């Protein structure tokens, strides 16, 4: 039996430039960070040749990997070379549907990591990310970019560049543990009380890439500004850039913001938040805010009807946290 742990993420700037429709013509660039909230995958061998699958409120019992209804589990199993004779369960620190924290890609990376390790293969973080992208984008045709798979696999506070050749390069922005706590302590997340399927927003954003190229180039530049601010330890500049990024992001597709989200954001700013944005594609999920410590009590009071989720930055990516090996039946 083994258990994989894969972090969720918050993207700070550059979202949208990780779509192929953008980076095929000019490099995309995203600054993203793993957080201390995780998706877990447990897998164990069965004595018989059945597959038992447990996730959320559903259970599947099938004879072959091709029969599984959960598309991410099915495609990850096929890619890892599994056929049958195992039991698998998934867990998450937060509800995975519509959070905006990259949970689907974290699950895909975690499934691949668990399944490959289960079959006796150790694969690199880059391969986990590449194959997760292949499953979600190529096989399942999801209208998403590549940033979530790479930050889930690599973890850390990371600069990710997407090249027209389909090559992706990552560089962790090495903060000390004290600096990670200082920066992480300035982020606040509030649940909007809205869950949504992001596919329609992402599909519209993808289809409008040519029309939005000037906005996306500006968002690319904001990602570079955040990178420079982090390297120089000018953390408060991140709040300013987040505010600029949110102004641009709202123009990429309809449905990215709502009256409720706008109200939350304005109230947070009035209470002292320097900037923020909706996490993920938009339309719901979590609102990310950058708030200096002395203003956080005021922001919590201003958004008292919304549930906060404390987070810190995570320095690790996809990991196997438990692996009990024994002879094969």
Both 151 and 41 in a single domain?
Answer: yes
Residues 69 and 182 in one domain: no
pLDDT in tens, 194-221: 877 677 888 888 888 889 999 999 999 9
User: Is there a domain that residue 277 lies in?
Assistant: yes
Task: Give the pLDDT confidence score for residue 326 in this predicted structure.
Answer: 66
Decide if 328 is inside a domain.
no
Q: For residues 163 and 23, is the Cβ–Cβ distance under 8 A?
A: yes
CATH code (residue 279): 3.30.70.890
Residue 320's pLDDT band (boundaries 50, 70, 90)?
Answer: very high
User: Quick check: is 307 in a domain?
Assistant: no
Residue 32 lies in domain:
2-176+315-323
Helix/strand/coil for 88: strand
Residue 13 within any structural domain of the chain: yes
Q: What is the pLDDT of residues 268-316, one digit of tens each?
A: 999 999 999 999 888 889 999 999 999 999 999 999 999 999 999 999 9
CB contact burial 235-252 (16+ within 10 A = b; e otherwise): bebbbbbbbbbbebbbeb
Query: Which pLDDT belongs to residue 184?
Result: 96
Please check whether residues 79 and 213 belong to one and the same domain: no
- 171 plus 185 within the same structural domain: no
Query: Is 273 among the domain residues?
Result: yes
Give yes or no: residues 155 and 211 share one domain: no
Residues 140 and 48 in one domain: yes
Tokens (6 digits) for 288: 């990310």
Length of the chain equals 329
Q: What is the pLDDT of residue 224?
A: 97
The structure's pTM equals 0.95
Together in a domain, 170 and 181? no
Distances (CA, A) of 65 to 76, 122, 132, 306: 10, 21, 17, 41
pLDDT at 328 (0 to 100): 57
What mean pLDDT comes out for the span 21-49? 96
Closest CA to 288 of 24, 80, 100, 56: 100
Residue 96, pLDDT > 70, answer no
Q: How many domains does the chain have?
A: 2
Q: Is the same domain home to 94 and 192?
A: no
Is 154 in the same domain as 182? no
User: What is each CA distance from 155 to 152, 158, 247, in whole angstroms?
Assistant: 6, 7, 27
CATH of the domain at 125: 3.30.230.10
Determine the Cα–Cα distance for residues 298 and 266; give it in Å rounded to an integer: 13
What six digits make up the tokens of 115? 């399944």
pLDDT at 110 over 80: yes
Element holding 16 (H helix, E strand):
none
H or E stretch at 294: none
Tell me whether residue 131 is in a domain.
Answer: yes
Average pLDDT over residues 76-104: 91
User: Same structural domain for residues 29 and 145?
Assistant: yes
What pLDDT is recorded for position 283? 86
- Asked if residue 25 belongs to a domain, the reply is yes
pLDDT tens per residue across span 124-144: 999 999 999 999 999 999 999
**Residue the block writes with tokens 């079959």:** 119
Task: Say what the pLDDT of residue 24 is.
Answer: 94
Q: Are 60 and 170 contained in the same domain?
A: yes
Judge if 41 and 157 occupy the same domain. Answer: yes
Q: Do residues 314 and 155 make contact, with C-beta atoms less than 8 angstroms apart?
A: yes
């Amino acid at each position: 039996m083994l258990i994989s742990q894969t972090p969720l993420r918050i993207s700070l700037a550059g979202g949208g430039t990780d779509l192929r429709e953008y980076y095929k013509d000019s490099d995309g660039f995203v600054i993203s960070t793993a957080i201390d909230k995780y998706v877990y995958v447990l897998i164990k061998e069965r004595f018989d040749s059945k597959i038992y699958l447990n996730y959320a409120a559903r259970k599947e019992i099938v004879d072959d990997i091709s029969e599984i209804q959960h598309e991410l589990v099915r495609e990850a199993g096929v890619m890892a070379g599994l056929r049958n004779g195992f039991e698998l369960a998934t867990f998450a620190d937060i509800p995975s549907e519509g959070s905006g924290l990259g949970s689907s890609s974290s699950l895909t990376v975690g499934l691949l990591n668990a399944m490959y390790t289960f079959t006796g293969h150790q694969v690199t973080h880059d391969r986990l990310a590449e194959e997760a992208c292949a499953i979600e984008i190529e096989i399942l045709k999801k209208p998403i970019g590549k940033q979530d798979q790479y930050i889930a696999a690599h973890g850390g506070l990371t600069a990710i560049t997407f090249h027209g050749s389909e090559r992706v390069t990552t560089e962790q922005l090495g903060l000390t543990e004290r600096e990670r706590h200082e920066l992480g302590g300035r982020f606040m997340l509030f649940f909007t009380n809205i869950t949504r399927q992001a596919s329609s927003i992402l599909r519209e954003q993808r289809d409008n890439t040519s029309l939005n190229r000037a906005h996306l180039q500006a968002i690319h530049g904001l990602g570079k500004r955040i990178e420079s601010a982090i390297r120089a330890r000018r953390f408060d500049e991140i709040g300013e850039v987040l505010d600029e990024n949110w102004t641009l992001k709202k123009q990429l597709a309809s449905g990215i913001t709502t009256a409720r989200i706008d109200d939350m954001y304005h109230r947070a700013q009035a209470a002292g938040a320097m900037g923020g944005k909706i996490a993920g594609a938009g339309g719901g999920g979590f609102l990310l805010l950058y708030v200096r410590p002395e203003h956080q009590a005021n922001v919590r009071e201003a958004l008292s009807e919304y549930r906060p989720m404390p987070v810190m930055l995570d320095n690790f990516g996809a990991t196997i946290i438990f692996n009990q090996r024994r002879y094969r039946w």
